[in-house]
Structure 1
């Protein structure tokens, strides 16, 4: 008897994670491909909760040069980008944008069906005030999509990771020796050491939102489970994704 050597098709979620990982490795060389893929992936996650974004108002807070907003608009959403740093927008943003601080958005209360923030919280000194503003501009019943790279993640030090485990000053000095240029991020100035456990406790203590999902953003399996294990989650989650629903008054 001949035994087939064919294996089962790979898990599509594993294919997704590998594709994202490969894109991250080439972020500096090909940011267009990297962030376009990440934007499509994030939009898929939002649509899985909302049942589609066509016709909905999606507010992208801190979205850099606009890849996420462009993707939401491509799917029929009324997408608006608010970015505090004009340099991050670049000379040719991928979507129309307003230069505005995430602590004080120029929007009426309840203006958005979806308020979206990807990998911004680790750059915010006061995460509770930032989250309160995201909630304020979201309509009752609407969704807040919030992801961030926690400090003890292997990528927590950003461009000087994983050497941040040995201390921020040492990691920054190593980066400068290796590249010949100062790093973009400085702990306590534009990068902050936020952790998963305290963040989850703070979010769950609020009475204006409910937690729809709390999970690792990129893991291909056990994504919600790993975010539940104290200690382990601070290292293994990599990037925490929170999907929150604003409560009705």
Structure 2
């Protein structure tokens, strides 16, 4: 079985529209947004595990790097996986159900220095985090380090030049990240949560693919929110920077 065969089977236009429509609730109704994203993420990880290993995901340990307020915990627990959320920001960790989530363990730590032994987890996931750290491929290397041989690393991030690269700053990021942050501040009277240069960085699709290829562990790469018939965009330089939007890198140590 191809690693992405099951994911591709689910990647229809209806799913894409449904997920993208939830993004408008990210800050106004995070439980709704992250609930929908958690359900889809669990399905993606389950499908990738089956495609890459041929085995069942039940009972496997999942480390979620940048797990934030813990909205993913109950979804992974329901799917029969042991969830460990990693989050460096205590404010973010306590902004949701992390303290009261069903199942799961939560650790305060940086994704660029994971407090786990080499080869100690089955699955290491990072969902929309790499663009928020200054050294995204150090984070990627740490994810590979802690994942056991034959396990699974799933690193998904927002591509800077895509339409969602500016996050809440909207399309103004095409005018430059610093300028977009200044425009947002003038309009709203405060800095954006995803502030360019401190909590948001310009990460390209090309950089991610180059890093993943250099590890020798890359087994698949595809656009997370696109229907299957649009996955070809990932293989086209320059075009992918604007149209892929969110890139998923799948690796097996």
- Give the TM-score, by structure 2 length: 0.87
Report the more deviating stretch, 221-230 or 107-116. 221-230
Give the Cα–Cα distance (whole angstroms) in 2 for the partners of residues 130 and 186 of structure 1.
19
Equivalent in the alignment of 2:40: 41
Q: CA deviation at 1:234?
A: 0.1
* Cα distance in 1 for residues equivalent to 2:19 and 2:210: 29
Equivalent residues, number: 234
- Structure-to-structure mapping, 1:155-170, within 5 angstroms: 155-170=164-179
Higher relative contact order by CA 8 Å / sep ≥ 6: 1 or 2?
2
Spell out, residue by residue over 1:169-223, the C-alpha distance to the aligned partner (whole angstroms, 9 max, x if none): 321122123222221233222211111112211210223x2x2220110001334
- Return 5+ residue gaps in structure 1 as ranges: 1-10
Query: How many Å apart are 1:12 and its aligned residue?
Result: 7.0
TM-superposed deviation, 1:158: 1.3
| Structure-1 residue corresponding to 2:5 | none
- 1:121 to 2:130 alignment: yes
- Residues 71-97 of structure 1: CA distance to partner in whole angstroms, max 9, x if unpaired? 111111111111111111125424541
Q: CA deviation at 1:161?
A: 2.2
Distance across 2 between alignment mates of 1:198 and 1:222: 24
Give the stretch that moved more between structures: 141-150 or 82-91: 82-91
CA distance in 2, matches of 1:177, 1:50: 46
Between the aligned partners of 1:156 and 1:104, the Cα distance in structure 2 is: 25
CA contact under 8 A between 1:62 and 1:120: conserved in structure 2?
yes
For 1:54, which of 34, 40, 58 is the aligned residue? 58
For structure 2, the 5+ residue unaligned runs are 1-9, 51-55
Name the structure where helix makes up a greater proportion of residues.
2
In structure 2, the residue matched to 1:8 is: none
| Shift in alpha-carbon separation, 1:12–1:217, aligned structure 2, 3 A | closer
Larger Rg: 1
- Cα offsets for 1:206-243 (capped at 9, x unmatched): 23x2x222011000133431111111000000000111
CA RMSD of aligned residues (A): 1.6
Corresponding residue for 1:202? Answer: 211
User: Which contiguous aligned blocks of 4+ residues in structure 1 show a shift greater than 6 angstroms?
Assistant: none
TM-score w.r.t. length of structure 1: 0.89
